[in-house]
Amino acid sequence: MANVTFSSPAMNKDVTVYATAGDCHTLLAVAQKNKLPIHFECENGECGSCAVEVGILSNRQPMGMHLTEKEKVALKLAGKISREQIEQAELSDIPPPWRLACQYIVRDEDILVKF
């Protein structure tokens, strides 16, 4: 199980939900299931409107979750990640802080999602 804490000025307080790791649900699907107001448009990774900042809430090394090609393009065009961060993600499994909620699969780690 993973604890996913959502934080946004659009909410009265932070909300922590449990997500089953490995069930292949995206972060956006977890938010929708729990009626949390992450903005989105296409749900396909092309528009970039569901960009969120993801932080790790443990002392463990973050699990390297590969960026999809759609994420690389959308986040780079939006100025959320750099070419260097993409290279770090690919070569060293160091995840960038910004991800697309519709592409990010929840893993077995506690995370903080800011939007």
Domain layout of the chain by residue ranges: 2-114
Residue 33 falls in which region: left (phi positive, over 0), alpha (psi -120 to 50) or beta: alpha
Prediction pTM value: 0.90
- Per-residue burial over 35-74, b if 16 or more Cβ lie within 10 Å, else e, is ebebebeebebebbbbbbebeeeeeeeeeebebbebbbeb
The per-residue pLDDT for 108 is 84
Pick 2-114's CATH classification: 3.10.20.30, 3.40.50.970, 2.60.40.420, 2.60.40.1930: 3.10.20.30
Is residue 22 scored above 70 in pLDDT?
A: no
**pLDDT tens digit sequence for 39-93:** 999 999 999 999 999 998 988 777 657 899 999 999 999 999 999 999 988 898 8
